[in-house]
């Protein structure tokens, strides 16, 4: 390398070292190489002096423009509605981070209150509206509202009724510890027809009698059902029975179901990263953890995601 090339390389290294990171400009906002930089925080005395991606002035701290402050979280929206500790907007991680609807969606957005039917928890009554302030006591009444989301809280006991979802697309959400159960013999949750149902974080357990099954996908339609971080446990019948349609189970626990954990017959299925343990009974169960019978022409397989 000739002297001219060496000199040019040295100039590039020196220039790079003058501003090693965003931190440099935060500590030296008036430095020549930081003035006008995207990374450089803008000094301010009020929100009127802030705009663009940093519309809020941190008047109680750094006196610079930031994305948001906890007391001015309205600057955050969409799939990043929550103001984090670093004064940047992020997706919600819990239902409690959505002040208006109390419903955090899987993509990090907060649902609009009018999109959610609420069931169970404190203040629940036998009503038809299923609002956040006055939730329903029964899942079927919440589903009858026809809203895209149903949020469960506490324990919801359907008693003698089967929860039936037929030709309906809905996402079931759950607060920590929420459970759907049934004290009478029979299926707890039955999904039929063309329904597309996704269940997050909900426990479906305690099905009584010899046929007290957690979730059933019925034959005769093409229901699509996904269980994510769900718990199907303690049912006197089976855990999940898929007689048709499509079943996806991921990051879920299926345990202590007396007549077997997962039964699939001629349905498409994807079982990924689950705990399927302690299912079946030596005297009454036709199988233990999993019984798989692939749809014609389909491959039988488990998957473990990296």
Q: pLDDT tens-digit profile of 201-228?
A: 999 999 988 789 999 999 888 999 999 9
Tell me the average pLDDT across 255-284: 90
Task: Give residues with Cβ within 8 angstroms of 283, minimum separation 6.
Answer: none
Q: What is the Cα–Cα distance from 82 to 88, expressed in whole angstroms?
A: 8
Tell me the average pLDDT across 151-178: 96
Q: Which residue has the higher pLDDT, 153 or 12?
A: 153
pLDDT of residue 283: 76
Q: What is the Cα–Cα distance from 270 to 250, expressed in whole angstroms?
A: 8
Question: Which is it for strands 89-90 and 82-83: parallel, antiparallel or unpaired?
Answer: antiparallel
Determine contact, residues 216/191, Cβ cutoff 8 Å: yes
pLDDT, averaged across the chain: 87
- Judged against a pLDDT cut of 70, whether residue 92 lies above it is answered with yes
Residues 72, 74, 76, 79, CA torsion sign = positive
- pLDDT tens digits along 44-87: 999 999 998 899 999 999 999 999 998 887 889 999 999 999 99
Beta pairing partners, 221: none
Beta pairing partners, 249: 227, 271
pLDDT of residue 284: 75
Q: Residue 192 burial (CB < 10 Å; 0-12/13-18/19+)? A: buried
pLDDT of residue 73: 76
- pLDDT tens digits along 116-145: 999 999 999 999 999 999 999 999 999 999
As a dihedral over the C-alpha atoms of residue 164, residue 167, residue 169, residue 175, rounded to 10 degrees, the angle is: 0
pLDDT of residue 2: 57
Tell me the average pLDDT across 95-117: 96
Question: Which ranges in 19-94 belong to alpha helices (H)?
Answer: 22-27
Question: For a pLDDT cut of 90, what percent of the chain falls above it?
Answer: 67
Tell me the average pLDDT across 32-48: 73
- Judged against a pLDDT cut of 60, whether residue 89 lies above it is answered with yes
DSSP helix/strand/coil, 81: coil
Count of positions (residues) in the chain: 306
- Judged against a pLDDT cut of 50, whether residue 13 lies above it is answered with no
- Judged against a pLDDT cut of 90, whether residue 114 lies above it is answered with yes
pLDDT of residue 217: 96
- Judged against a pLDDT cut of 60, whether residue 23 lies above it is answered with no
Q: Which residue has the higher pLDDT, 176 or 295?
A: 176
Candidates 206, 301, 296; CA nearest to 248 is 301
pLDDT of residue 19: 44
Q: Which two tokens stand for residue 2?
A: 């000739």
């Amino acid at each position: 390398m000739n002297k001219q090339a060496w000199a040019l390389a040295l100039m590039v290294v020196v220039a790079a070292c003058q501003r090693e990171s965003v931190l440099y400009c935060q500590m030296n906002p008036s430095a020549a190489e930081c003035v006008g930089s995207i990374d450089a925080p803008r000094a301010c005395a009020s929100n009127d002096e802030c705009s663009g991606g940093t519309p809020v002035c941190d008047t109680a701290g750094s006196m610079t423009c930031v994305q948001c402050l906890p007391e001015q979280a309205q600057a955050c929206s969409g799939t990043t509605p929550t103001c984090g500790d670093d004064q940047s907007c992020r997706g919600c991680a819990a239902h409690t981070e959505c002040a208006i609807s109390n419903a955090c969606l899987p993509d990090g957005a907060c649902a609009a209150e009018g999109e959610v039917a609420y069931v169970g928890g404190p203040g629940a009554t036998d009503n038809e509206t299923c609002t956040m302030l006055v939730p329903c006591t029964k899942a079927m009444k919440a589903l009858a509202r026809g809203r895209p989301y149903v949020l469960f809280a506490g324990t919801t006991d359907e008693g003698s009724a089967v929860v039936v979802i037929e030709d309906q697309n809905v996402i079931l959400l759950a607060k920590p510890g929420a459970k759907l159960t049934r004290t009478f013999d029979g299926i707890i949750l039955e999904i039929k027809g063309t329904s597309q149902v996704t269940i997050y974080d909900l426990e479906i357990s305690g099905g009584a009698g010899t046929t007290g099954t957690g979730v059933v996908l019925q034959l005769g339609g093409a229901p699509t059902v996904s269980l994510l971080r769900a718990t199907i446990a303690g049912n006197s019948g089976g855990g999940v029975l898929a007689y048709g349609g499509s079943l996806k189970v991921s990051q879920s626990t299926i345990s202590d179901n007396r007549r077997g954990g997962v039964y699939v017959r001629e349905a498409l299925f994807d079982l990924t990263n689950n705990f399927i343990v302690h299912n079946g009974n030596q005297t009454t169960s036709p199988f233990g953890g999993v019984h798989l019978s692939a749809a014609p022409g389909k491959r039988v397989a488990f998957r473990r995601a990296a």
